[in-house]
Amino acid sequence: NMTPEEKKKYANKVTILGSIADALLGILKVIIGKLFYSQALIIDGIHSFTDVFSDVFVVIITKVSHDGPDENHPYGHEKFETIGSAALGSLLIATGGALIFETFKTLWSGETGPLPGAPTYWAAGISLVVKEGLYHYTYRAGKKLNSKLIMANAWHSRTDALSSVVVLIGLIFSGLGYTMVDSFAAVIVSFIIARIGWRFVKESLSELAESSVDDKLEKEIEKIILEVEGVESCHALRTRRMGPKVIVDVNVEVD
């Protein structure tokens, strides 16, 4: 029951809190990774910095998408949220691809560095706990606001938590002397980033292409229409998504 302005403020509060945490984690992981020889942790830190950029992007898109209908946008501005989700997904794909390329270059060179130091374990562990907490906090906010963009940003945090798990596994093997495992962990993290990005892009493009909602939801909509007093039957039901909304066209038959 929040007003558009209240929704905007709530979304911004959640996103800004996440961006501060992402910036601090990114700095921590890159510095610790550099000082204590973990390529996977450095890449995980770069991933956290992409979260900061996506957080800023979400704040901007949220501001636009919660504006009401106007002369040029009589249905409202919710499509901007879908465009934002597609752009956020594209950023993740580009980031994952670039990191995969850089890591394969390191693997191809055959260079092996010193064993990662103990602080790398602490940095990855702290990242895992903080990012998993941010995921739940942000996802709940996205559900409350019925915002795909906020939920997509939450999954961006979840990918960071998952990548921290992979980094931890890589560090454990590296500590046992298998230093190449750290680079393989970096590749896996990069693939996780790109895969989540593709999912966002795919869903957003489907919505921008005016795809209808699934059969289950269409049946629910039809049931609601038939419950309206005076409606005897309905046909030619057509649906499309517009951000958190579903636009419906239908022919109803009356006495």
The mean pLDDT value for 156-166 works out to 77
Arithmetic mean of pLDDT over the chain: 81
pLDDT at 112: 58
The mean pLDDT value for 63-88 works out to 76
pLDDT at 200: 79
Backbone angle region of 12, left / alpha / beta, with phi > 0 → left and psi within -120 to 50 → alpha: alpha
Asked whether 102 and 18 are in contact (CB, 8 A), the reply is no
11-20, 75-84, 139-148, 216-225: which range is least confident on average?
75-84
Nearest CA among 79, 80, 31, 88 for reference residue 56: 88
Task: Evaluate if residue 90 carries a pLDDT over 80.
Answer: yes
Q: What is the pLDDT of residues 49-59, one digit of tens each?
A: 777 877 777 77
Task: Evaluate if residue 29 carries a pLDDT over 80.
Answer: yes
Task: Evaluate if residue 122 carries a pLDDT over 80.
Answer: yes
The mean pLDDT value for 139-164 works out to 80
pLDDT at 61: 76
Per-residue burial over 150-185, b if 16 or more Cβ lie within 10 Å, else e, is: bbbbbbbbbbbbbbbbbbbbbbeebbeeebebbbbb
Hey, which of 47-51, 145-149, 170-174, 222-226 has the most confident mean pLDDT? 222-226
Q: How far apart are CA 53 and CA 57, in angstroms?
A: 6
Instruction: HSE, CB side, 13 Å, CA atoms: give it for residue 253.
Output: 5
